[in-house]
């Protein structure tokens, strides 16, 4: 019998990210406390730029954006927001959306699998994702449950279970 396997990835649905940005734009345009403070949000690929007239307002824009991400099912672990900084007459926050599993996080996940998962389970780092395989499908499901129970520094999804 062939090995069963699944992949561990860290990705954000680009359409859901676009929807969160659009909903934030609508709320910034309609809320009274954002009138006249130059509050804006701009998306370029995986970079999100927030701007407003004061440091408090740009932090409020970030708070609105984070709430929209949560409503769209995107984990805040996927957002890497920087600190507010002055840029001319406005304050900005530059943030990026993490995509893929960095090698140090992949090694950390592989170590957890090696130490705590059933002994038949093997993991292998493949670029920015992990392939986990075993002859026993129940062991793979136990490994998924183990990783969901851990507080990992990144948001992970489990795909291609075969």
Query: Does residue 128 share a domain with residue 61?
Result: no
| The last residue of a domain, from among 46, 64, 97 | 97
Query: Does residue 115 share a domain with residue 74?
Result: no
CATH classification of the domain holding 133: 3.30.70.860
**What pLDDT shows up at residue 17?**
92
The closest alpha carbon to 128, from 152, 95, 103, belongs to: 103
Span 57-68, mean pLDDT?
A: 93
For residue 2, pLDDT over 80 is answered with no
Q: DSSP assignment, residue 33?
A: G
Query: Does residue 79 share a domain with residue 122?
Result: no
Query: Does residue 85 share a domain with residue 147?
Result: no
114, 74 contact by CB (below 8 A) = no
CATH classification of the domain holding 63: 3.30.70.990
Query: What CA–CA distance (Å, rounded) separates 74 from 72?
Result: 6
Q: Name 124's bridge partners.
A: 131
Query: What CA–CA distance (Å, rounded) separates 129 from 31?
Result: 41
Query: Does residue 93 share a domain with residue 18?
Result: yes
Q: State pLDDT tens for residues 37-53.
A: 888 999 998 899 999 99
Query: Does residue 35 share a domain with residue 65?
Result: yes
Helices (H), the chain: 14-30, 55-71, 103-116, 137-149
Query: Does residue 25 share a domain with residue 40?
Result: yes
**What pLDDT shows up at residue 19?**
94
For residue 102, pLDDT over 80 is answered with yes
For residue 135, pLDDT over 80 is answered with yes
For residue 1, pLDDT over 80 is answered with no
Query: Does residue 126 share a domain with residue 90?
Result: no
For residue 21, pLDDT over 90 is answered with yes
The number of beta carbons lying within 10 Å of the beta carbon of residue 126 is 11
Cα angle 54-55-59, degrees, rounded to a multiple of 5: 120
Query: Does residue 93 share a domain with residue 57?
Result: yes
Query: Does residue 67 share a domain with residue 122?
Result: no
* Structural domain boundaries enclosing 58: 14-97
| The last residue of a domain, from among 97, 113, 129 | 97
Write the CB contacts of 109 (distance below 8 Å, at least 6 apart in sequence).
Answer: 8, 101, 123, 130, 147, 152, 156
Query: Does residue 145 share a domain with residue 80?
Result: no
Query: Does residue 114 share a domain with residue 76?
Result: no
Q: pLDDT-derived band of residue 33, with 50, 70 and 90 as boundaries?
A: confident
* Percent of the chain at pLDDT exceeding 90: 28
Write the CB contacts of 119 (distance below 8 Å, at least 6 apart in sequence).
Answer: none
């Amino acid at each position: 019998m062939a090995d069963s396997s699944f992949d561990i990835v860290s990705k954000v649905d680009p359409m859901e990210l676009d929807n969160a940005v659009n909903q934030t734009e609508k709320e910034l345009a309609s809320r009274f406390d954002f009138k006249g403070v130059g509050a804006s949000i701009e998306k370029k690929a995986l970079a999100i730029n927030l701007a407003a007239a004061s440091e408090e307002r740009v932090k409020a824009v970030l708070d609105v954006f984070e709430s929209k991400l949560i409503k769209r099912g995107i984990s805040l672990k996927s957002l890497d927001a920087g600190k507010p900084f002055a840029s001319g007459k406005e304050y900005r926050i530059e943030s990026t959306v993490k995509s893929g599993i960095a090698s140090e996080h992949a090694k950390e996940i592989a170590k957890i699998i090696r130490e705590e998962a059933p002994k038949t389970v093997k993991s292998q780092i493949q670029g920015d994702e992990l392939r986990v395989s075993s002859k026993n499908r129940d062991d793979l499901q136990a490994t998924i449950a183990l990783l969901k129970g851990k507080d990992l520094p990144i948001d992970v999804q489990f795909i291609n279970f075969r």
